[in-house]
């Protein structure tokens, strides 16, 4: 994997009045890497994500994106360069699927024919039926379909970086599993650099190359699941223990395959 970081946080902090939401975090995300950030509510993980595209401004420290200090990039231009997937899809309710996906290319001034072709390509890419879904409004879609449209919209301007804030958290387990696998495949095929927020350690382990664990605004640990297993932090080991306990309980409750 190339060593040049696509996203780099150096001693980054964010304060909201007396609250320190992100506390002196240094973290690199390599080009082509899929990084999951895990932690409980209030751990600072979503704040850290939003600092990368200046939805929130850092109080101190330096954030680099593709080798540039984000403070030297116009925030609107920065956000158009970086795909962002919201927890609930974040679609505009009055716009069709096609118009939702095409909104960023339209804002960038791309011609209508190019936008239409890109929209069709992306609808196919996220495994939606073009004829059935292209002209629908978001209210006519299932949760999983809305989230697929959200992913397509995030990819519409051809970003190299995608930020995802609990993208599959509100979905039913089967849809969540399928969409997670599909995005992991897109990440690999398109050569993306992805940062994903999740509170689910199982999801993080299954989808990401590397996992960063946050608590109380601090970065407690980062590494592959195997590397995290050697952590001296009790909280990290507790998080890692959850998937193991679930597997043990499932093995107890479910009949073994091939059993009579």
Per residue in 208-237, pLDDT tens? 999 999 999 999 999 999 999 888 889 998
Residue 11 lies in a domain: yes
Residue 9 lies in a domain: yes
Residue 46 lies in a domain: yes
Q: Is the pLDDT at 3 greater than 70, yes or no?
A: no
Cα–Cα distance, 99 to 249 (Å, whole number): 46
Residue 99 lies in a domain: no
Q: What is the pLDDT of residues 58-98, one digit of tens each?
A: 999 999 999 999 999 999 999 989 999 988 778 999 999 99
Cα–Cα distance, 250 to 236 (Å, whole number): 22
Please report which confidence band the pLDDT of residue 254 belongs to, taking 50, 70 and 90 as the band edges. Answer: confident
Give residue 240's domain range: 5-91+167-253
pTM: 0.91
The answer to whether the CB of 207 falls within 8 A of the CB of 34 is yes
Structural domains in the chain (count): 1
Please report which confidence band the pLDDT of residue 2 belongs to, taking 50, 70 and 90 as the band edges. Answer: very low
Q: What is the CATH number of the domain that holds 239?
A: 3.40.50.300
Q: Is the pLDDT at 257 greater than 80, yes or no?
A: no
SS3 75: helix
Residue 129 lies in a domain: no
Residue 156 lies in a domain: no
Residue 117 lies in a domain: no
The per-residue pLDDT of the chain, averaged, comes to 92
Q: Is the pLDDT at 260 greater than 50, yes or no?
A: no
Residue 143 lies in a domain: no
| Averaged pLDDT, 11-16 | 98
Residue-wise burial string across 10-44, b where 16 or more C-beta atoms lie within 10 A, e elsewhere? eebbbeeeeebbbbebebbbbbbbbbbbbbeeebb
Q: DSSP secondary-structure letter at 55?
A: S
Cα–Cα distance, 164 to 128 (Å, whole number): 20
């Amino acid at each position: 994997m190339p060593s040049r970081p696509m996203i780099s946080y150096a001693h980054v902090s964010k304060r909201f009045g007396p609250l320190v939401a992100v506390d002196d975090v240094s973290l690199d995300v390599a080009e082509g890497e899929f990084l999951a950030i895990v932690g409980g509510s209030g751990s600072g993980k979503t704040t850290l994500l939003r600092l990368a595209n200046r939805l929130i401004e850092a109080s101190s420290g330096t954030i680099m994106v593709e080798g540039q200090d984000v403070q030297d990039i116009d925030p609107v231009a920065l956000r158009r360069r970086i795909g962002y997937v919201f927890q609930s899809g974040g679609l505009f309710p009055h716009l069709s699927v096609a118009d939702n996906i095409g909104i960023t290319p339209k804002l960038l001034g791309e011609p209508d024919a190019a936008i239409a072709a890109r929209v069709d390509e992306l609808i196919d890419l996220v495994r939606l039926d073009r004829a059935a879904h292209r002209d629908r409004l978001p209210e006519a879609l299932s949760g999983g379909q809305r989230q697929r449209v959200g992913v397509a919209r995030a990819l519409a301007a051809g970003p190299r970086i995608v930020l995802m804030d609990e993208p599959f958290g509100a979905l039913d387990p089967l849809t969540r599993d399928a969409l997670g696998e599909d995005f992991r495949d897109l990440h690999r095929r398109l050569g993306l650099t992805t940062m994903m927020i999740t509170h689910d350690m199982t999801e993080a382990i299954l989808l990401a190359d590397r996992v960063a664990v946050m608590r109380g605004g601090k970065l407690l640990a980062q590494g592959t699941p195997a590397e995290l297993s050697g952590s001296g932090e009790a909280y990290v080991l507790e998080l890692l223990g959850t998937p193991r306990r679930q597997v043990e309980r499932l093995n107890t409750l479910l009949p073994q395959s091939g059993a009579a």
